[in-house]
Amino acid sequence: MVGIIMGSQSDLAIMQQAADFLKSLEIPYELTVVSAHRTPERMFDYAKSAKNRGLKVIIAGAGGAAHLPGMVASCTTMPVIGVPILSSNSIDGWDSVLSILQMPSGIPVATVALNGAANAGILAAKMIGVSDESVSQKLEVYQNSLKDKVLGTVDEIKNYHPNHYD
């Protein structure tokens, strides 16, 4: 249901976060390397064939010039989520963030934070959850777990520090 692509294998440690989240919700995904600059034909084929392969959302991670998410978005009507990645040749990640964020009118790319592949996985699940009730229910359980985690830390801190707010 979700395609996860990245410009090179060096991006895998970040993009794995999206795969891990999708796996935790039992949402099918595929993950591969598709470089906009080194394998442009592969990129075009991937984007153009994605819908026929059953994908609903594409998550594309890229560092440096970060053209992959935008180029993929220009080749498909499905939503593309861009993950800017702080790469070894990056300018503090700003080059990647701005390359993905500042798309021209007509070719939108949803953009998450620098190295924010976990949020990309969550956003992809939310997009799918709009029309898939089982995914929506799993997301609700996930969000409740976040609330429970925070409330647990409130109680833990209260044991050691005064706090009269409930």
Instruction: Identify the CATH assignment for 2-130 out of 3.40.50.1970, 3.30.70.340, 3.60.21.10, 3.30.70.1400.
Output: 3.40.50.1970
74 Cβ contact partners less than 8 Å away, ≥ 6 residues apart:
47, 107
- Average pLDDT in the 35-64 region? 96
- Average pLDDT in the 77-106 region? 93
Give pLDDT, residue 162.
85
Please tell me whether 11 is known to bind a ligand: yes
Compute the distance between CA of residue 45 and CA of residue 34 in angstroms, rounded to an integer. Answer: 10
pLDDT band per the 50, 70, 90 thresholds, residue 13: very high
Q: 73: closest CA among 39, 22, 127, 111?
A: 111
Please tell me whether 38 is known to bind a ligand: yes
Write the DSSP symbol of residue 64.
T
Residues of the chain with pLDDT > 90, as a percent, come to: 87
Residues of the chain with pLDDT > 70, as a percent, come to: 99
pLDDT band per the 50, 70, 90 thresholds, residue 165: confident
Compute the distance between CA of residue 40 and CA of residue 24 in angstroms, rounded to an integer. Answer: 32
pTM of this structure:
0.93
Give pLDDT, residue 33.
98
- Average pLDDT in the 5-14 region? 96
Other residues' Cβ atoms within 10 Å of the Cβ of residue 2? 24
